[in-house]
């Protein structure tokens, strides 16, 4: 993994971002790219044999490192590249509480099987359920992580600092109890 810095890398990352994430789960790409130049965000490119193969966007606050977006190009899925990238990221952010949000396991969801596979991938990668769900807009996410629990207030503070207070006020976000 290496930091995404150039225009070409950024264009490749943007194309993957728009392919991998549905509109209701996307922040504006230009906002993400601009924020990645700040000290509290890391925009990583994942490479295989010198070719761009994925992205991982991490937001940092205090001792928290939140994987905001992580995607591997279709050609590289199932090759172990994503697992290696996750392992590298966990090593890079060692000593911090490292976590991410995945779509909750809703059996009524059209992509339920995909959600189960993704959750299993992260569990195999050493992440654990954190006992907290977050609703952003119409999407409910489950938090998975390692290195310790993250309190609802800490998660909110991370997002508020990253977005800035003005933008944060316009975000519809609720911390929910875990699903049974």
DSSP assignment of 68-84, as one string? EEEEE-GGGTTTTHHHH
pLDDT over 70 percentage in the chain: 90
- State how far the Cα of 58 lies from the Cα of 108, in Å rounded to an integer: 30
Domain spans, the chain: 2-176
What pLDDT is stored for residue 41 in this prediction? 92
3.40.640.10, 3.40.630.30, 3.40.50.10280, 3.40.190.10: which CATH number matches 2-176?
A: 3.40.630.30
Q: What is the pLDDT of residue 30?
A: 87
pLDDT at position 138: 84
pLDDT at 27: 86
Answering whether pTM is above 0.85, one says yes
pLDDT score, position 179:
59
pLDDT of 165: 60
Residues of the chain with pLDDT under 70: 4-8, 165-173, 177-180
pLDDT digits (tens, 9 = 90+) for 42-92: 999 999 999 999 999 999 999 999 999 999 999 999 999 999 999 999 999
């Amino acid at each position: 993994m290496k930091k995404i810095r150039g225009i070409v890398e950024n264009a490749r990352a943007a194309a993957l971002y728009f392919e991998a994430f549905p509109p209701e789960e996307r922040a504006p790409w230009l906002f993400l790219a601009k924020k990645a130049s700040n000290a509290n965000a890391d925009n990583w490119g994942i490479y295989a044999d010198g070719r761009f193969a994925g992205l991982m966007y991490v937001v940092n606050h205090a001792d928290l490192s939140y994987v905001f977006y992580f995607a591997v190009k279709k050609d590289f899925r199932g090759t172990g590249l994503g697992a290696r990238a996750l392992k590298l990221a966990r090593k890079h952010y060692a000593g911090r509480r490292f976590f991410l949000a995945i779509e909750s396991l809703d059996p009524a969801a059209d992509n339920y099987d995909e959600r189960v596979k993704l959750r299993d991938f992260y569990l195999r990668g050493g992440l654990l359920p954190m006992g907290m769900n977050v609703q952003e807009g119409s999407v409910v996410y489950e938090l998975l992580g390692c290195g310790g629990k993250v309190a609802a207030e800490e998660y909110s503070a991370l997002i508020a600092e990253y977005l800035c207070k003005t933008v944060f006020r316009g975000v519809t976000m609720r911390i929910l109890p875990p699903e049974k």
